[in-house]
Amino acid sequence: SLDFLLERISKDEVDNEKMEAGQSNFARMAKKIFQKYKLTKIDDETQRFVVDLNRLPPEFYPNINGDDYLPSVLARFNKLETRLDKNNDLKMKFHDRIKTLINDGILLKVGEWDDHKTEFKEIQQQGSEKLVLPWQLFINESKTSETGSLRACLDATIKNKLLYRGENNNPEIINMLMLWRTCPYWMSLDIRKMFWQVQVNEKDQMLQHAIWRFDRTEKIILFKFQRQVMGASDSMSTSR
């Protein structure tokens, strides 16, 4: 446990060789990540990191049929609309989140859902799937960040069937604790909207469409989510 590790370190039971090894491992990991970033970043003013999703090998691909999962997506869409209609303040906040995603280039309008839905209903060709992900709405009253207590994100359950987690680049906790002993100063930081800073390549964006409209009198619009999706099984490894 963490308490046990802290107790060990407090008793000077970690020798200098292990401390040096921890520093070396951490440095190698940081160098590897930075080299990958330089090779994959978009060469424009954003210098944005672009990733390929960790797709399963073709032999392990499940068959995706839109007729099997789309009714659930549409039912959840209608349920969320009904929920928001009952709470105008919540509805305004949710719509503000969606508009921010559009203005920031995270959510890209594709067209009207009626014009594209047949593309998603047919049996999807392996390696060229097109998916629609349902919206999820989370409320945490204790949240005090700039995005407030409301979080709007996509449910990546159907998308996760095509992905594997990938390599975990997080340093071992024991290495981090040893580094604390060798450095006089430490700094912690939180990357603002980390997953939404990472661009997904255009082919893999086909796995993360979403539908929405701002009023029931409007037609449903199909959007494409261009950044990493929180909750996708490979988001942590590819974002690292």
Q: State mean pLDDT over 113-138.
A: 87
Taking only Cα atoms into account, the Rg of the chain, rounded to an integer number of angstroms, comes to 22
Average pLDDT score over the chain: 79
Residue 9 has pLDDT above 60, yes or no: no
User: What would the pLDDT profile of 16-35 be if each residue is shown by its tens digit?
Assistant: 555 455 556 656 766 666 66
Q: How far are the Cα atoms of 33, 89, 125, 208 from residue 55, in angstroms, in the given order?
A: 20, 39, 14, 13
Answer yes or no: are the C-beta atoms of 58 and 207 closer than 8 Å: no
Give me the helices (H) in the chain, please.
2-10, 16-40, 66-85, 88-103, 113-121, 157-160, 173-182, 235-239
**Which residues, including other chains, have CB under 8 Å from residue 231's CB and lie 6 or more apart?**
136, 153, 154, 155, 156
Supply 154's token pair.
Answer: 């996509």
Supply 52's token pair.
Answer: 């390929």
First-last CA distance in the chain: 25
Tell whether pTM > 0.95.
Answer: no
Residue 12 has pLDDT above 50, yes or no: no
